[in-house]
Amino acid sequence: MMTDEELAQACAAAMYSRDVASQALGIELVAVGPGSAHLSMKVSDAMVNGHGICHGGYLFLFADTAFAFACNTYNVVTVAQSAAVEFIAPVHKGEQLEARAREVTRFGRNGLYDIAVERGSEVVALFHGRSRSLGQPVLGEE
């Protein structure tokens, strides 16, 4: 029998092993626990838009990835039902970002999560997501 922490970590490892997008972008899973996730990503040349700043889509993707890892820590496949992001400060090539996701609440098959994208101690984006559980196990048959 796994502890809640072990289950969260096993779910994250299984998801990451299949997450080609996150791997290709250099997103690293720093830590995960029940309802929470901490990820890291360095802004690459390919992520910079015509204004010389990180494209908002990459910041959304990064936060959404933290959201996905946090809401799938209970061994139930869970997807985004809706999400919104607030861009607070520009991000530049070469900067190291952290995304910290935390569960606000779960109710029925739904959940609410807040994700802060940070550059050092500065919050550069805030993401709010609503999740919906689909009922299948993340880890498959035990």
Residue 122 resides in a domain: yes
Q: What is the CA radius of gyration of the chain?
A: 15
Residue 81 resides in a domain: yes
109: left (phi over 0), alpha (psi -120 to 50) or beta: alpha
- For residue 111, give every residue at least 6 positions away whose Cβ sits within 8 Å of its Cβ, in sequence order, or none: 35, 71, 78, 103, 104, 105, 130, 131, 133
Of the pLDDT bands very low, low, confident and very high (cuts 50, 70, 90), residue 1 is confident
Tracing tokens 């880890």 back to the chain, one arrives at 139
Digit-coded pLDDT (tens) for 32-54: 999 999 999 999 999 999 999 99
Residue 140 resides in a domain: no
Domain count, the chain: 1
E strands, 24-121, are: 28-33, 36-42, 78-87, 96-107, 110-119
Residue 139 resides in a domain: no
Q: What's the predicted TM-score (pTM) here?
A: 0.94
What's the CATH number where 59 sits?
3.10.129.10
Give the domain range for residue 29.
4-133
Residue 72 resides in a domain: yes
Digit-coded pLDDT (tens) for 76-87: 999 999 999 999
Tracing tokens 């985004």 back to the chain, one arrives at 80
Task: Map residue 102 onto helix, strand or coil.
Answer: strand
Residue 121 resides in a domain: yes
